[in-house]
Structure formats: C-alpha cells, structure tokens
Amino acid sequence: MPNPAVIFGGPSPEHDVSILTGLQAARALGAVTAIYWAKTGDFFEVDAGAEGRDFLDGPPRKAPPLRLVAGEGFVGRKRALDLGPIVNCCHGGPGEDGTLQAALDLAGLHYTGPTVAGAALGMDKLAFGNVMTAAGLPSLPRTGGVPELPGPWIVKPRFGGSSIGIELVDDADTLAALARSSPHLRNGYVVEPYRPQAYDLNVGVRSWPAVELSMIEKPVRSTGGSILGFADKYLAAGGEGGMASAPRELPAALPEAMEKQVRSIASQVADLAGVRGVARIDFLVDGEELYVNEINTIPGSLAKYLWDVPFPRLLADLLAEAEQRPTHHYTSAGADGTALRSAGSIAGKLG
C-alpha cells in the first residue's frame, strides 16, 4: 500500500494549531507524505520533518505546489501523487465543516475523521444543539438571535471551534455591535445563557476498531477568564505540548453517578453525530446539572492526551478505519433513463 499522507493548515482561524497537529502526526507516522494547505487555499507538498516556525510566512521555500483534482487526487507538476489514506489534521473552517471532506470524496481519496455530514453537523453549533435537544439530551437553550432570557450571554460563532471568537455580553445592544464588528461572527452566531459557576468536562470518543470512550478531562481556566478560552487550550505553559501541556485534571475526580452520566450521554452523542475517527465531546456542569455543549470532530493533537494509547497506535487505527470504512458510496441506481425518455423536448418544457 502507498505511504499514508497527512494534511494540515487550511484557510481557518485554527490554521496555526492545525500545523502543529499535522507535524506531530507526521513525526509519529514516520514514512508519510506531508501536505500543507496554505491560508490562501493552495496546497503544497512539504517536508514531513519540518518545524512549526517553517510556516510562519506560508509554505516553506521551494515547496512544490499541488492541485486537488476530482477523480485524480493530489496532482503535482507532472503526475498525481500515489497516496495511501490521509490523516486529516485540519481544524476548523473548510477542513472540518465538510468542505475538504467532500473534495476528497470527489477526488477518490480515503481519509480519517468525520464524513461530510458528520463534519457539517459538528461545525454548526445551532444545528448540533437542536439535534441534541430533539433527542432529549440535556443542552443549554441556544438561539441564533437575541434570547428571551436576560443577559449576560455567551456568544459564539455558529460555524467555528476552539473558543475563537467567543465573547461574554450583557445586553442586546452589545450583542448587535459585536455581530457587526467580529469577523468570526460574519457567517452567523449562537447565543446561550452564561452560567458563571459552570465548569467544563471533555471526553474523547474513537470509532475504530470499536467505539471507545477516553478518560474524562476537567480543563483548568489557567488565564483566569470567565470562559475556557483559546489561550487556556493552546497557549498555556508556553504551548510546547499543544493541548497536552494545558492545565487539567485527568482523569477528572467526579462522583460515580456523574461519571456514569457523562459516559452514557457521550455514547448517545457519538451515535447521533455519526462519529468517525477521533472526536472530543464537551460538556458543561452547573451544580448537579450536566449539559452537552458541543462536539469537536477533529480535536487539537487529535486528543491524543486523553487516551491511554500510544499516539502511533491511535494513528494506525485511524488509518485502518479510513481504508476499511470508506466515507461514501455513490450510486446512480434509479437513474435508468426513464425520465429522459418520457421528457419530450427541452423546448417544450420551456414553453
């Protein structure tokens, strides 16, 4: 089988973190083709042994450009690359919302992580919350406009992740001003009640070789902010280990009943969201009340810190699933020409 590939970067606010995840995966895999997706949307083949600083100004010098072509895959100057399954390390934006997944499907490439549908649901906070509520799972009331309940509220990009663009607001005027000024809210936002005493719990789920839940994590808000922010997740302790270096309680010291509830609900979320690969499900706890917050379908560092599994083994399982459990199966069954034969002329239909 051809060597696997790793793709990272992308035109997303999480571009830089994605590079770090991708380079970690490339190191752990060894013989691998590394594909960098630039902020401009262009693809490049790069050295799998590169460092994060090599991408400060975009693609490293002399990195050969690639094109992603339907039916062919990634094509260089002379030919298509002979690739095995691809580890998708693109966080946020088009790498995690179904866009890249659809392009890889059309190109005929196998890849890790969510399907088009799973990625789209996970990235849309309003749709995801509605699905959880419809399934009877505990979720905070979430709206795409001004809530009926008085502030303060948490405002989040409707299509985003990693706490980028999340703000705490007190009233409708502040909300309206933020919606006009924030580039992260340009495509829509969701608003939910602010629970000042609530704390976060995270649990990983992986789908191969069988559905499995990780240890439960209780992140620590090291920056002292009112919400768990991007700096808490990625910049704590100098960011040397990515999310692995952020302060946390792992495993979280929870009452037995709470731990059982987290695990039970996480299994239901994974089923509803069609989890494929490795995902992280985030909860909020307010007193004795547990709420599903969101799902991260391509988590930072692929959530390797949550698992009592060596990173190379975690990646090997992802690649095995990509190869043995393809994301799509197109069919033209039913398109047998009947509609064409009975249609008459196009001119007649225009009349």
- Judgement on whether residues 125 and 254 belong to the same structural domain of the protein: yes
- Predicted confidence at residue 147, as pLDDT, reads 92
Whether the CB-CB separation of 165 and 184 falls below 8 Å is answered with: yes
Q: Domain for residue 28, yes or no?
A: yes
- Predicted confidence at residue 218, as pLDDT, reads 96
- Judgement on whether residues 258 and 121 belong to the same structural domain of the protein: yes
Q: Domain for residue 161, yes or no?
A: yes
User: How many residues comprise the chain?
Assistant: 351
- Judgement on whether residues 90 and 127 belong to the same structural domain of the protein: no
Instruction: Sheet with 248-249: list strands edge to edge.
Output: 248-249, 212-219, 199-206, 278-286, 289-296
**Alpha-carbon dihedral angle through residues 72, 75, 79, 82, given to the nearest 10 degrees:** -70
- Predicted confidence at residue 240, as pLDDT, reads 45
- Predicted confidence at residue 2, as pLDDT, reads 86
- Judgement on whether residues 222 and 302 belong to the same structural domain of the protein: yes
- Predicted confidence at residue 166, as pLDDT, reads 94
Structural domain of 33? 5-111
- Judgement on whether residues 283 and 173 belong to the same structural domain of the protein: no
- Judgement on whether residues 269 and 170 belong to the same structural domain of the protein: no
Calculate the average pLDDT of the chain.
Answer: 92
- Predicted confidence at residue 245, as pLDDT, reads 62
Q: Which residue carries 């910049």 as its tokens?
A: 235
- Predicted confidence at residue 348, as pLDDT, reads 84
- Judgement on whether residues 72 and 171 belong to the same structural domain of the protein: no
Q: Domain for residue 338, yes or no?
A: no
Q: Domain for residue 270, yes or no?
A: yes
pLDDT in single tens digits along all 351 residues of the chain:
689 999 999 999 999 999 999 999 999 999 999 999 999 999 999 999 999 999 999 999 999 999 999 999 999 998 999 999 999 999 999 999 999 999 999 999 999 999 999 999 999 999 999 999 999 999 999 999 999 889 999 999 999 876 799 999 999 999 999 999 999 999 999 999 999 999 999 999 999 999 999 999 999 876 555 665 555 555 554 444 455 667 889 999 999 999 999 999 999 999 999 999 999 999 999 999 999 999 999 999 999 999 999 999 999 999 999 999 999 888 999 999 999 999 889 988 886
- Predicted confidence at residue 178, as pLDDT, reads 95
- Domain containing 155 — which CATH number? 3.30.1490.20
Q: Domain for residue 305, yes or no?
A: yes
- Domain containing 297 — which CATH number? 3.30.470.20
Q: Domain for residue 293, yes or no?
A: yes
Reference 38, options 93, 106, 103; nearest CA is 93
Domain count for the chain, please give it.
3
Task: Determine the residue type at 238.
Answer: G
Distance CA 164, CA 184 (A): 8
- Predicted confidence at residue 29, as pLDDT, reads 96
Q: Domain for residue 85, yes or no?
A: yes
- Judgement on whether residues 43 and 168 belong to the same structural domain of the protein: no
Q: Domain for residue 349, yes or no?
A: no
- Domain containing 68 — which CATH number? 3.40.50.20
Cis peptide preceding 209, ω within 30 of 0: yes
- Judgement on whether residues 214 and 185 belong to the same structural domain of the protein: no
- Judgement on whether residues 120 and 231 belong to the same structural domain of the protein: yes
**Domain end (from 194, 209, 230):** 194
pTM of the model: 0.91
- Judgement on whether residues 165 and 28 belong to the same structural domain of the protein: no
Reference 15, options 76, 92, 69; nearest CA is 92
Segment 307-316 long-range contacts (CB within 8 Å, at least 24 positions apart): 307/204, 307/206, 307/214, 307/215, 308/214, 308/215, 311/24, 311/28, 312/28, 312/29, 314/206, 314/278, 315/25, 315/28, 315/29, 315/87
> Phi first, then psi: what are they for 278, rounded to 5°?
-120, 125
> Which segments of 287-346 are extended strands (E)?
289-296
DSSP track, 12-79: STTHHHHHHHHHHHHHHH-S-EEEEE-TTS-EEEE-TT--GGGGTTSSPTTPPEEEEETTTEEE-SSS
- Predicted confidence at residue 328, as pLDDT, reads 81
- Judgement on whether residues 33 and 61 belong to the same structural domain of the protein: yes
The token pair at 87 is: 């580890």
